[in-house]
Amino acid sequence: MAESSRVVLVTGGSKGIGRTLAERFRDAGYRVAATYRSGGVPDGVLGLQCDITDQEQVEAAFTAVEAELGPVEILVANAGVTKDTLLMRMSDEDWDTVIDTNLTGTFRVVRRASRPMMRGRFGRIILVSSVVALLGSPGQVNYSSSKAALVGMARSITRELGVRGVTANVIAPGFIETDMTAVLPDDVIADYKKRIPAGRLGVVDDVAAAALFLAGDQAGYVSGAVLPVDGGLGMGH
Catalytic residues: 143
What are the pLDDT digits (tens) for 20-34?
Answer: 999 999 999 999 999
pLDDT at 1 over 60: no
Which residues lie closer than 8 Å to 176 by C-beta, 6 or more apart? 17, 201, 202, 203, 204, 206, 207, 229
Question: pLDDT-derived band of residue 236, with 50, 70 and 90 as boundaries?
Answer: low
Query: What average pLDDT score do residues 128-142 get?
Result: 93
pLDDT at 209 over 80: yes
Provide the pLDDT for residue 181.
77
Provide the pLDDT for residue 3.
65
Query: What average pLDDT score do residues 176-205 get?
Result: 88
pLDDT at 9 over 80: yes
Provide the pLDDT for residue 50.
97
Q: Tell me which of 223 and 191 has the higher pLDDT.
A: 223
Yes or no: say if 179 and 14 are a contact pair by the CB < 8 Å rule: no
Provide the pLDDT for residue 182.
78
Q: What angle do CA 31, 32, 34 make, to 5 degrees?
A: 165
pTM of the model: 0.95
Please count the helices (runs of H) and the strands (runs of E) in the chain. Answer: 9, 7
Yes or no: say if 42 and 23 are a contact pair by the CB < 8 Å rule: yes
pLDDT at 231 over 70: yes
Considering the domain 3-227, what is its CATH architecture?
3-Layer(aba) Sandwich (3.40)
Distance CA 227, CA 234 (A): 11
What does DSSP say about strands 74-77 and 123-128: parallel, antiparallel, or unpaired?
A: parallel
